[in-house]
Amino acid sequence: MNYSLSKIMHLDELLFDNRFIHELPGDPEVSNNRRQVIGACYSHVSPAKVVKPKLIAYSREVADQLDLALEACESDYFAEVFTGNRLSAGMEPYAACYGGHQFGNWAGQLGDGRAINLGEVLNRQGQRLVLQLKGAGPTPYSRTADGLAVLRSSVREFLCSEAMHHLGVPTTRALSLTLTGECVIRDMFYNGNPKAEPGAVVCRVAPSFTRFGSFQIFTARGDIKLLKKLADYTIRTDFPHLGEPSPTVYLAWFEEICRKTAEMIVHWQRVGFVHGVMNTDNMSILGLTIDYGPYGWLENYDPDWTPNTTDASMRRYRFGNQPQIAFWNLTQLANAIYPLIEDAELLQQALNLYAESFEKGWEDMMAGKLGLSVFDNSLTAELLIILQLVETDMTIFYRKLATMDIDNRTPNDISDEVLIMPLMEAYYVPEQLTSEYKERIGHWLRNYMRRMQKDETPDQERRMRMNAVNPKYVLRNYMAQLAIDKAEQGDYSMIDELLKLLRHPYDEQVDKEVFAVKRPDWARQRAGCSMLSCSS
């Protein structure tokens, strides 16, 4: 293709190739009534009109990926299009049908209840990128809800998807964050206190938004013909390297999903990300982090922590359980695609591949976090116990561990007190540092030093290795909340500030130290900082 190298100045110049709706069966009904949609992968639906579209932030990197010039992004037309008020040339909006297991139970049809896909852009590098509005009005899949989104959850999704990308975690992206100028009523803690909040829309971007639940719904309905159509379409479009669909290719496809999912979970565990709602409708077929709702970041290292108040009693989606839940979710996908393969043994083997790739990936990741060239089981296991003995900030701990001087020191000559000094900023409650604790971590630190000296890894090399995988800056829950508080007062500056900060999460940013310290005490129990509900 002979593209000019100049950027796209006007959204109408975007090149669309809306393959999903042209190759897969759609819902013949065009009304927007909420309903069960049978025999179709999607329904045509128009975004709702809003009173006062306003762009409050956009991602330069995602705009670049779409070849969009600054002028195109900063035009009024951009705000109109990405709140859903107008369609640019080539857009053909639709909502997808899918089902899912929610908190372990089959929930039947869910679908894009407040997501509207605008179309598939082909960029100049030939990448296929689906543009999807979240919060742009009801669809046939909205069930009892309104199809809208509020500013607070939209800021959280916008910032976190970009932050995750820069951390190197596979994720859907976010192009824009806009205000609709309308109010949305939400009862934030489902406790009889509804409030009007500013309505907002995020435009998400990914090669595909297909979920595990997209396949589950057809098998659950006994529609194996449609299951096969969607699987064939997905393989040809998103996994073309696997070749033409056949039972062998379906299996290879599932194996690849298992590997990609394992990779994604290893990354989550590396950076301390807790998704919060790992239902099968929130699991991307491409192994991307998708649907940012009541997610959160580990502050003190606690594998039992979940930010989601809706899951507070069961803690099904707690940090330490994410690897097992991914396995459970993959098992549901295996059940869903069984009719295409009809060999339970082979599917079971593929699932085992998830367990193996997760374990191998996790060990390599933990070795990296400690600056080791090879995983060390006993060193790692003891550390993960120690991190839970007292409230220890996970992110700060690994960065501070990297600063420790090991070269030319004799571990046995250094006292516990001196050894622990570089780590002090990671501790939330200094009174918890008993002599017993100091002795235990002192012992561990000496073993760590000996291991590095035995490996002949110099300090400088260890630091480089560690700082490349242990972020200095993550989107701490309270940071997002501060940006939201300001945005709700009409000041959007902190959204941009955080977006800029989180572009370089592994770098020292001297003027941004304030964001690299422990969560402040006021945020310990504040809503939005330590607890989040699904209300968004």
Is 147 a binding residue for ligand AMP by CB under 6 A? The answer is yes
Which listed option, ligand AMP, Mg ion, none, makes contact with residue 277 (CB within 5 to 8 Å by class)?
ligand AMP
For ligand AMP, the binding residue among 142, 289, 457, 533 (CB under 6 A) is 142
Instruction: Out of 101, 114, 152, 465, point to the residue binding ligand AMP (CB under 6 A).
Output: 114
Q: How far is CA 509 from the centre of its chain?
A: 24
- Under the binding rule (CB under 6 A), the answer on residue 110 touching ligand AMP is yes
Question: Does residue 185 belong to the site contacting ligand AMP (CB under 6 A)?
Answer: no
Bridging pattern class, strands 94-96 and 99-102? unpaired
Taking CB within 5 to 8 Å according to partner kind, which of ligand AMP, Mg ion, none is near residue 84? none
With left for phi above 0 and alpha for psi between -120 and 50, is residue 345 left, alpha or beta? alpha
92 binds ligand AMP (CB under 6 A): no
CA–CA gap between residue 157 and residue 292 (Å, rounded): 5
Mark the segment that binds ligand AMP (CB under 6 A) among 18-26, 141-149, 333-341, 439-447: 141-149
C-alpha span between 450 and 456 (Å, rounded): 10
Q: How far is the CB of 233 from ligand AMP (least distance, A)?
A: 21
Q: Which is nearer to ligand AMP, 59 or 153 (CB)?
A: 153
The site partner of 477 among ligand AMP, Mg ion, none (C-beta below 5 to 8 Å per kind) is: none
Distance (Å) of CA 131 to CA 206, 237, 493, 536: 7, 16, 25, 21
**DSSP secondary structure of 306-351:** --BGGGTTT-TT-GGGHHHHHHHHHHHHHHHHHHHH--HHHHHHHH
Exposed, middle or buried, 238 (CB in 10 Å: 0-12/13-18/19+)? Answer: middle
Nearer to ligand AMP, 85 or 279 (CB): 279
Binding partner at 197 among Mg ion, ligand AMP, none, C-beta below 5 to 8 Å by kind: none
Residue nearest to ligand AMP (CB): 113
Site for ligand AMP in 288-307 (CB under 6 A): 291, 293
**Residues 330-359 vs ligand AMP: string with x where CB under 6 A?**
------------------------------
What is the widest separation between alpha-carbon atoms in the chain? Answer: 78
The verdict on 137 binding ligand AMP (CB under 6 A) reads no
Q: Please tell me whether residue 376 binds Mg ion under the rule CB under 5 A.
A: no
Catalytic residue annotation: 281
Among 93, 99, 111, 287, binds ligand AMP (CB under 6 A): 111
CA-wise closest residue to 111 among 281, 226, 227: 281
- The minimum distance between CB 153 and ligand AMP, in angstroms, equals 9
Question: Position of tokens 């990300």?
Answer: 273
| Shortest distance in whole angstroms from residue 460 CB to Mg ion | 44
Q: Which residues of 144-180 are buried (b: 16+ CB within 10 A; e: fewer)?
A: eebbbbbbbbbbbbbbbbbbbbbbebbbbbbbbbbbb
Question: How far apart are CB 297 and Mg ion at their closest, in Å?
Answer: 20
Which 8-state DSSP code applies to residue 486? H
111, interface contact from ligand AMP, Mg ion, none, CB < 5-8 Å by kind = ligand AMP
Question: Considering only 56-64, 110-118, 153-161, 430-438, which stretch makes contact with ligand AMP by CB under 6 A?
Answer: 110-118
Helical H runs in 168-246? 212-220, 224-238
Q: Does position 148 bind ligand AMP by CB under 6 A?
A: yes
Of 32, 65, 154, 282, the residue at the interface with ligand AMP (CB under 6 A) is 282
Interaction of residue 136 with ligand AMP, rule CB under 6 A: no
Helix (H) or strand (E) holding 361: helix 344-370
HSE of 351, CA atoms in CB hemisphere, 13 A: 20
C-alpha 519/C-alpha 501 separation (Å) is 17
Question: Does position 155 bind ligand AMP by CB under 6 A?
Answer: no
| Closest CB 488 distance from ligand AMP, rounded Å | 18
Footprint on residues 272-291 left by Mg ion (CB under 5 A): 282, 291
Asked whether the beta carbons of 65 and 205 are under 8 A apart, the reply is yes
Q: Which residues are paired to 132 by β-bridges? A: 117, 204
Q: Which residues, 288 to 307, sit near Mg ion by CB under 5 A?
A: 291
> What gap in Å lies between CA 518 and CA 402, rounded to an integer?
17
Smallest gap from Cβ 146 to ligand AMP, in A, equals 5
Judged by CB, which is closer to ligand AMP: 132, or 457? 132
Residues of this chain that bind Mg ion (CB under 5 A): 282, 291
Residues of this chain that bind ligand AMP (CB under 6 A): 110-114, 141-142, 145-148, 277, 279, 282, 291, 293, 534
